[in-house]
């Protein structure tokens, strides 16, 4: 692809999108060439190698990708003083009903992850949120150089070179997480991907995955992850939920459930049944991005509007539930949320 840029230095944004994702790092080379018009030799003046951002399995990240992710997380946390505090405060007991136990569980968490990922990308634009395949062994994840090694009731053991060493939430230093399983295998009792995708072809059946594998994966640990009110204090939480979101994406792909006009794509009560709780209907805006702090919403809305993307306009800064389905813009380009998974084709 060739892009002509003006000689006065004005920026020209461009985006490259493929049919299948490149998982290489770097996977794309941008070459700047200069030519004096109308004729003159074409001279290469520089190259930049980039990675195409894609959500990968965390155990497949190379060292550079891993370190950039950890650095971005540490900077976002900034000893508990950074923007991460908003993300921690979005997922607390008071916001439980906004995000859990109802049809909006999956859309809400999709927006939540996207917001976090965009903030990470504002720190390091090469970062994409990876996922933790909780139905597969992932020992590389639970090491001092990555998300830390369990240490009973003490904070996880981290390498002194790991910037998560300075992780701090709610004023307290450290990440508390002790696996209740052997990390050389997958946590027992957690539904496999195949079992999850077989829960049903209608969203009402599929969303029972909030219990298993989602909640089962949470309670595979003692520590922050084991309770809704504390879970977001652990950065692994976002990788766990990235896998939950990936499972939804895989289910959407398998059953063609991108179009909210298709009843089986969501769980909308049929009249005369009452609608879902507010925040869980397709047309509802979602807290906290809508800033609404009157009952039945929580009394505060941390973080403000959802972070914008340099690449796509969706889902907007005040997303509605319906904005979270066509995440790859399969139905309309304008719906594209600007993320993709390495093992789910477009």
> Which listed residue (90, 320, 325, 337) binds another protein by CB under 8 A?
320
Taking the C-alpha atoms of residue 194 and residue 343, their distance in angstroms, rounded to an integer, is: 14
**109 CB-near residues (< 8 Å, 6+ apart):** 99, 241, 244, 245
Residues 142-161 that bind another protein (CB under 8 A): 152-155, 157-161
The number of C-alpha atoms within 13 Å of 33 and in the hemisphere containing its C-beta is 14
Taking the C-alpha atoms of residue 199 and residue 208, their distance in angstroms, rounded to an integer, is: 8
125 or 277: whose CB is closer to another protein? 277
43 or 195: whose CB is closer to another protein? 195
Contact 112, 339 (CB under 8 A): no
- How many residues touch another protein under the rule CB under 8 A: the total is 90
22 or 78: whose CB is closer to another protein? 78
* Residue 215 CB coordination number (10 Å): 15
Residues 258-287 that bind another protein (CB under 8 A): 267, 269, 271, 273-278, 281-285
Nearest CA to 141 among 196, 101, 96, 186? 186
47 or 173: whose CB is closer to another protein? 173
> Which listed residue (31, 47, 62, 79) binds another protein by CB under 8 A?
79
Task: Please report whether residue 302 would count as binding another protein according to CB under 8 A.
Answer: yes
13 or 160: whose CB is closer to another protein? 160
Residues 201-220 that bind another protein (CB under 8 A): 204, 207-212, 214-216, 218-219
The least distance separating another protein from the CB of residue 300, rounded to whole angstroms, comes to 7
State the burial class of residue 190 (Cβ atoms within 10 Å of its Cβ: 0-12, 13-18, 19+): buried
Task: Please report whether residue 193 would count as binding another protein according to CB under 8 A.
Answer: no
Contact 66, 157 (CB under 8 A): no
The least distance separating another protein from the CB of residue 185, rounded to whole angstroms, comes to 16
The least distance separating another protein from the CB of residue 46, rounded to whole angstroms, comes to 18
């Amino acid at each position: 692809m060739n892009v002509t840029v003006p000689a006065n230095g004005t920026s020209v944004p461009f985006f490259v999108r493929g049919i299948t994702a490149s998982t290489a790092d770097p996977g794309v080379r941008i070459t700047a060439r200069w030519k004096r018009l109308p004729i003159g030799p074409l001279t290469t003046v520089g190259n930049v190698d980039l990675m195409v951002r894609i959500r990968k399995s965390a155990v497949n990240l190379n060292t550079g990708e891993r370190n950039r992710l950890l650095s971005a997380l540490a900077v976002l946390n900034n000893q508990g003083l950074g923007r991460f505090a908003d993300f921690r405060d979005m997922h607390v007991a008071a916001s439980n009903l906004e995000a859990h136990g109802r049809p909006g569980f999956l859309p809400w968490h999709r927006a939540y992850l996207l917001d976090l990922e965009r903030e990470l990308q504002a720190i390091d634009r090469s970062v994409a949120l990876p996922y933790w395949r909780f139905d597969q062994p992932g020992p590389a994840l639970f090491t001092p150089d990555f998300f830390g090694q369990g240490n009973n009731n003490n904070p996880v053991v981290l390498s002194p070179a790991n910037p998560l060493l300075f992780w701090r939430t709610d004023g307290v230093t450290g990440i508390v997480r002790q696996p209740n399983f052997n990390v050389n295998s997958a946590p027992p009792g957690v539904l496999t991907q195949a079992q999850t995708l077989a829960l049903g072809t209608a969203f009402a059946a599929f969303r029972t995955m909030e219990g298993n594998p989602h909640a089962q994966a949470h309670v595979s640990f003692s520590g922050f992850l084991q309770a809704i009110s504390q879970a977001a204090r652990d950065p692994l939480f976002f990788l766990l939920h990235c896998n939950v979101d990936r499972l939804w994406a895989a289910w959407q792909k398998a059953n063609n459930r991108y179009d909210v006009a298709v009843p089986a794509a969501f769980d909308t009560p049929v009249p005369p049944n009452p609608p879902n709780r507010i925040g869980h209907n397709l047309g509802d805006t979602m807290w906290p991005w809508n800033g609404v702090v009157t009952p039945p919403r929580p009394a505060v809305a941390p973080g403000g509007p959802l972070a914008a993307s340099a690449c796509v306009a969706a889902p907007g800064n005040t997303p509605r539930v319906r904005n979270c389905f066509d995440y790859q813009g399969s139905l309309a380009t304008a719906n594209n949320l600007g993320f993709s998974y390495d093992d789910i084709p477009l």
